[in-house]
A and B are shown apart, each in its own frame.
Chain A
Amino acid sequence: MIEADRLTRCYGPLTAVDSLSLRAEPGQVLGLLGPNGAGKSTAMRMIAGFLTPTSGTARVCGHDIRKEPLAAKRALGYLPEGAPSYGEMTIREFLVFMIRVRGLERDVAFRRFDEVVSRLELEEVLEQTIGTLSKGLRRRVGLAQAILHDPPVLMLDEPTDGLDPNQKHSVRMLIDAMARERTILISTHLLEEVHALCNRVAIIANGKLLADATPAELEARSRYHGAVSFSAQGSGVSREMLARIPNVAMVEVDPLDGRVTVFPRPGLPILEDVQALLRTQNLQVSEIQLEQGRLDEVFRQITTQPRGAQA
């Protein structure tokens, strides 16, 4: 479990993290989502023990990071931003160093080493110097280091940043596989990642927590939520006819490809009415879609509100 309790960090006059309170339970993958410079990394660095909070605190598995820092760190696996590691070491040497610092028992260490190396597919490159590795491999080494001691809490700062699509996929599979009995906190500015990984999202901007919800709840905030969009041959259906459907709020036509999007009044279903109308007009509909809502739009809406309007 991770709890942040009014975590605050100032750099001179700048408040990087402003009274941030969060809570993630085992089985949850909580995504810290925010624009660059929102305070995601600073918050994680405080929880990891690299930075001291200006005020407030955090608890990892119930261990207060200020009162019992070592116990908190023992329960935590952390991948810092950019996955730093000692470039002059080979992967094997680096992981052995991590095992030693963490003081793992000999038999546990052997088992975990083999497990982690095979899980992250590092067998072939174990004797390579980390400094010579590609970005993707280095990230995998960073992940290996973070899960080496089988921690109940994982904190990953932009785990897929700079990876190619295949690597992203395999890292997501890995996180997904580990998520069941662990608490995982990841930071990202990639919305696709939220969809792929997280069952909860905390949106942060200017160091403040602006939203804490499931991805579906966030999507429901989008004006696209419940909207119906379709492409049709010809222009037999007029915007006026669609707009006359009782629950429809607005109709938009994409000037480029002629795709029509029909927006409902908040919370009201319109799919069946639109379909019925299209049927009566005898239109050749090539494709029709019920929109779930667009996270990017919600994200933009939440993070670009004027400061005074923020809750």
Chain B
Amino acid sequence: MTAVSAIARRELWSYFVTPVAYVFMVIFLVLAGLLTFYAGDFYDRGLADLQPFFDMHPWLYLVLVPAVTMPMWAEERASGTLELLFSLPASIAQAVLGKFLAAWAFIGICLVLTFPIWITVNYLGDPDNGVILAGYVGSWLMAGAFIAIGTCMSASTRSQIVAFILTAAVCFLLLLVGQPQVVDFFQDSLPPRLIGALGQLSISRHANAIARGVLDLRDLVYFFATIVAWLGASVIVLDLKRTR
């Protein structure tokens, strides 16, 4: 466990000594604010909740999370530090977990920094803060799933740009798959059971369910399983790359 925390600390620390963290935070906070007020009709809805704010998160993550995860392994490989890292008494799984936790904690920090909007909505009205908290949890879990996908993509390729595009593409698919337009499109060509199963794969569906304030075990299992599966795939990819 010491190895995991050491790697996670170093990784998180490295975000903050390079401009990555600050650029990310500024863009994330500005966009989250702007989109909520302009695209999300925060005022016109006349409701004291953060629904428009959380609705924007999948699309923000879609662009920003791959940018955070793309250097995760690709850069270690390019700079040769991967050789150093793998010669240390930490297993690949520990290294993957450490790096994942660092990125996840970083997104967590960004989410915490959106607190002014929570203050705003509490100032303007009388929202259900339990639902808002659930919204934050759902958003953070969704970010975790995206990061796990990004981890795997970064482990798979030397090129950071390829890692970025692949991560964004897979995350986009997982967002799309539950949208009504997509479900309708396949309505006639696929058996209903399969469409139902596809819908269950949708990230947004599970995140929205949590955002409504219901912490359903199935949704938690979905995110947990997604994260574990992609991190497991990362370990396998990294291990396979040692043999080639």
Contact = CB atoms under 8 A, between A and B. Distances in A.
Contacts of B90: 70, 101
B2 A101 contact: yes
B81 A101 contact: no
B87 interface: yes
Contacts, number: 76
Contacts of A69: 91
A48 B89 CA distance: 10
6 contacts: A50-B87, A52-B243, A85-B81, A86-B10, A100-B9, A101-B90
A97 interface: yes
Contacts of A84: 79-81, 83-84
B88 A102 contact: yes
Interface of B: 2-3, 5-7, 9-10, 13-14, 17-18, 79-84, 86-91, 239, 242-244
A82 interface: yes
B161 to A, nearest CB: 21
B113 to A, nearest CB: 23
A101 B83 contact: no
A80 B88 contact: no
Interface stretch (A71-79, A170-178, A262-270): A71-79
Contacts of A101: 2-3, 6-7, 88-90
A217 interface: no
Contacts of B10: 86, 89, 97
Contacts of A100: 2-3, 5-6, 9
A56 interface: no
Given A51-B242, A74-B89, A86-B10, 20 more contacts: A45-B83, A50-B82, A50-B86, A50-B87, A51-B243, A52-B242, A73-B87, A73-B88, A78-B84, A80-B87, A84-B84, A85-B84, A89-B17, A100-B3, A100-B5, A100-B9, A101-B7, A103-B2, A103-B89, A145-B84
